[in-house]
């Protein structure tokens, strides 16, 4: 069968060749940073595109195999390590790393330099400041000094300053004896740091120890002249109306004046204007026989340096006051003040046992019944009314004076804490008075706010804060310590108050003793606030987790750490003895000696222990010719020093015998029964064992036992 298909002719020629296929661009998984949105051939260290554009070529990846995701993960890890470095390394190292970061565009390169120890560690500003300020021994002290200059002022109390200024002269008057150089156990002069503090023996033959009566301040009172009375009106005093104790009007006026210019300027238990007005005009609104007897019982002790019979008269006034009190007196402002002064008189005689403390309890209960403090329904300014405002002023003065005194008693474990401070306004301005001969009455001058008045305002505010602390720390039902958050919140309140002090009541230049007493109270209260937390495991564990945490120990040290050259309490002591003849200023200030001596003996390695400890002992000894409790205080502190091995038994006996022989001491009327604590650390656990009575007995046992065993028991 023939094909119907048309036959195909053979091909006449071939098709034109196809154009050659273009070479494909090499694919890369990672482009350089400038070419991320453009084409990149992945060449390293510079890709073709960057080379053509003549720009810097930078890869975020380490090599061709690393992806962008892997690079970001690596960078994130490196930044985390850098942050950890800044957080955990010492401050000097962290500051050096931070400095490198600020001058580098690549944080990871800084990390690599740190890991290879190529970063030069510069001393921090804090380290530089500490090296330039030899008195500052910790970062905490420096930080407090910079941030709170009112509470922690920078004072020039270096060794050279003390040895070359008037401070040296005043200190030599307080400490006029050579330190014993030899003893059986250890030479006193060889106590570590003693020679460095006292310096080489210098010729001070022109400086002689001065008796209290030979150098006095402008406002001190002498019984020799009626012109030195606190107020000229006291020349018209008729003391026979108020007391049956046989004393002259001149004696009573002198003793009252001595009290008003010394302890009253700090205690302020009553309004002076109202008291003197009633005392002279024989009225009993703001004065009473009980108040007069109690006041003269205490004032006679201060006055005993002017009148030899005053020491015996003090006991007579005490007996009279106790007899009057047994008559069941009514509640009144004068009786509250009388109870406090009666207790103070007995305690200063070294007889502050349970019977004496009952007067503090009675005064507190009377204040509660009169709604001055300690109850919810408190007396207010509006509830006290008088034509001239005298009742309101006198009531507020007694309320705050009694409250402050009670807080001091709580501070030394004599009384339980009390809530609800006074609601009456703090007496802000004194009202100077003078006696008008024509009117035969007091005339009120224009109101002024003196530096002492302003100091008292802030003192009351400080005591109000501390009363809140007592309620927590001294609660007998509390089984555990409060949290550190609570303690530091109160600490900040203290600092806020001191930071707000006006310029004239800060520690700059010479200041009245009342101003120094305010700053002393501040550091005393801080020590008591943090004392329960010293060496506490909870604070140590917290500090291990938070290295920058300021521990209670560090703050405690800023006020009193003995290893520092001149912490705040020592500075205050130097200021007191160099600016004031404190041995003639009553006994209220003596707590600076107690707190300083306690801080010293607990750290026997303190380089300046001997100088300051003997200074405290000598200041107490100067008090003994007026206040008998000072003998027990000296014995107690010497016993504590022996127990802590801060001084040997032989040297303790030498110091005590020297003080007894050199000073114009009288014989103690009886053994000491005072329950005021001498060992502040022991008082938190066992108040009776820490009291002056117990420790004075212990000192007697130590010295007597050592005397009888001499040559029998080997040292």
Write down the pLDDT at residue 604: 64
Query: Please, where are the H alpha helices in 663-712?
Result: 680-683, 687-690, 692-708
pLDDT 10s digits, 506-525: 887 788 888 989 998 998 89
Write down the pLDDT at residue 551: 56
Q: Check whether 330 has a pLDDT greater than 60.
A: yes
**Does domain 29-61 sit in CATH 4.10.240.10?**
yes
Write down the pLDDT at residue 653: 86
For residues 306 and 438, the answer to whether their CB atoms sit within 8 Å is no
For residues 623 and 262, the answer to whether their CB atoms sit within 8 Å is no
> For residue 435, what is the enclosing H or E element?
strand 433-436
pTM score of the predicted model: 0.70
| Residue with more model confidence, 715 or 683 | 683
- Which of these ranges, 256-265, 403-412, 444-453, has the smallest mean pLDDT? 444-453
- Give percent of the chain with pLDDT exceeding 90: 19
pLDDT 10s digits, 609-646: 777 888 888 888 878 878 888 888 888 999 999 988 88
Write down the pLDDT at residue 109: 76
Query: What does the radius of gyration of the chain's CA atoms come to, in whole angstroms?
Result: 38
How confident is the model over 427-450, as a mean pLDDT?
A: 58
Residues of the chain with CATH 4.10.240.10: 29-61
Model confidence band, residue 187 (pLDDT cutoffs 50, 70, 90): very low
Model confidence band, residue 486 (pLDDT cutoffs 50, 70, 90): confident
Write down the pLDDT at residue 190: 36
CA distance linking residue 533 with residue 376, whole number of Å: 31
Model confidence band, residue 185 (pLDDT cutoffs 50, 70, 90): very low
Tally the C-alpha atoms within 13 A of residue 696's C-alpha that lie toward its C-beta. Answer: 21
Write down the pLDDT at residue 255: 92
- Return the biggest CA–CA distance within the chain: 175
Exposure pattern of 649-676 as b/e (b: 16+ CB <10 Å)?
bbbbbbbbebbeeebeeeeeeeebbbbb
For residues 569 and 596, the answer to whether their CB atoms sit within 8 Å is yes
In sequence order, the 6+-apart residues with CB closer than 8 A to the CB of 654 are: 180, 183, 188
Write down the pLDDT at residue 443: 55
- Residue 536 phi/psi, 5-degree rounding, is -80, 135
For residues 86 and 96, the answer to whether their CB atoms sit within 8 Å is no
pLDDT 10s digits, 214-232: 333 433 333 434 557 877 7
pLDDT 10s digits, 380-432: 888 876 545 677 888 999 999 999 999 999 988 888 888 899 999 888 765 55
């Amino acid at each position: 069968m023939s094909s119907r298909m048309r036959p195909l002719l053979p091909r006449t020629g071939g098709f034109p060749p196809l154009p050659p296929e273009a070479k494909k661009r090499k694919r890369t998984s990672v482009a350089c940073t400038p070419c991320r949105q453009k084409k990149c051939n992945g060449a390293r260290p510079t890709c073709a595109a960057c080379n053509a554009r003549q720009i810097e070529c930078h890869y975020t990846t380490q090599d061709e195999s690393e992806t962008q995701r892997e690079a970001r993960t690596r960078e994130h890890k490196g930044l985390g390590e850098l942050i950890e470095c800044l957080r955990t390394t010492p401050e000097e190292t962290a500051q050096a790393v931070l400095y490198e970061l600020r001058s580098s565009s690549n944080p990871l390169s800084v990390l690599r330099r740190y890991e290879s120890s190529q970063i030069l560690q510069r001393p921090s500003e804090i380290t530089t400041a500490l090296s330039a300020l030899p008195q500052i021994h910790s970062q905490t002290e420096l930080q407090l000094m910079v941030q709170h200059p009112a509470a922690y002022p920078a004072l020039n109390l270096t060794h050279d300053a003390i040895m070359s200024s008037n401070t040296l002269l005043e200190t030599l008057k307080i400490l006029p004896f050579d330190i014993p150089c030899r003893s059986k156990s250890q030479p006193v002069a060889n106590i570590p740091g003693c020679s460095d503090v006292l310096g080489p023996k210098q010729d001070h033959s022109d400086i002689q120890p001065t008796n209290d009566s030979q150098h006095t301040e402008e406002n001190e009172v002498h019984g020799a002249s009626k012109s030195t009375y606190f107020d000229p009106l006291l020349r018209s005093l008729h003391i026979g109306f108020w007391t049956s104790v046989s004393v002259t009007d001149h004696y009573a006026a002198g003793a009252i004046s001595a009290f008003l210019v010394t302890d009253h300027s700090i205690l302020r238990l009553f309004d002076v204007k109202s008291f003197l007005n009633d005392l002279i005009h024989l009225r009993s609104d703001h004065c009473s026989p009980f108040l007069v007897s109690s006041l003269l019982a205490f004032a006679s002790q201060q006055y005993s340096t002017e009148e030899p019979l005053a020491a015996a008269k003090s006991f007579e006034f005490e007996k009279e006051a106790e007899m009057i009190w047994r008559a069941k007196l009514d509640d009144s402002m004068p009786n509250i003040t009388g109870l406090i002064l009666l207790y103070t008189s007995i305690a200063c005689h070294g007889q502050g046992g349970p019977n004496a403390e009952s007067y503090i309890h009675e005064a507190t209960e009377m204040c509660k019944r009169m709604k001055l403090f300690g109850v919810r329904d408190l007396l207010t300014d509006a509830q006290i009314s008088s034509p001239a405002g005298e009742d309101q002023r006198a009531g507020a003065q007694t309320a705050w004076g009694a409250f402050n005194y009670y807080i001091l008693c709580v501070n030394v474990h004599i009384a339980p804490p009390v809530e609800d401070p006074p609601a009456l306004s703090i007496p802000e301005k004194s009202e100077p008075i003078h006696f008008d001969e024509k009117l035969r009455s007091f005339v009120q001058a224009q109101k002024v706010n003196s530096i002492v008045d302003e100091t008292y305002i802030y003192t009351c505010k400080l005591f109000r804060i501390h009363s809140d602390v007592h309620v927590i720390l001294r609660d007998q039902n509390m089984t555990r310590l409060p949290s550190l958050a609570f303690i530091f919140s109160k600490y900040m309140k203290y600092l806020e108050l001191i930071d707000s002090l006006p310029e004239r009541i800060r520690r700059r230049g010479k200041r009245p003793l009342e101003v120094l007493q305010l700053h002393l109270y501040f550091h005393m209260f801080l020590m008591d606030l943090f004392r329960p937390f010293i060496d506490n495991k909870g604070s140590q564990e917290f500090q291990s987790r938070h290295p920058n945490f300021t521990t209670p120990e560090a703050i405690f040290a800023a006020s009193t750490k003995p290893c520092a050259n001149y912490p705040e309490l020592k500075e205050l002591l130097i200021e007191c003895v160099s600016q004031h003849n404190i041995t003639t200023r009553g006994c209220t200030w003596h707590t600076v000696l107690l707190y300083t001596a306690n801080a010293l003996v607990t750290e026997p390695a303190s380089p300046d222990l001997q100088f300051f400890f003997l200074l405290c002992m000598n200041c107490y000894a100067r008090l003994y010719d007026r206040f008998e409790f000072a003998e027990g205080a000296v014995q107690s502190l010497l016993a504590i020093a022996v127990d802590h091995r801060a001084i040997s038994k032989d040297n303790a006996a030498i110091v005590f015998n020297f003080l007894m022989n050199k000073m114009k001491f009288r014989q103690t009327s009886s053994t000491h029964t005072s329950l005021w604590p001498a060992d502040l650390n022991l008082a938190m656990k066992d108040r009776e064992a820490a009291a002056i009575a117990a420790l004075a007995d212990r000192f007697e046992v130590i010295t007597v036992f050592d005397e009888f065993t001499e040559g029998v028991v080997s040292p």
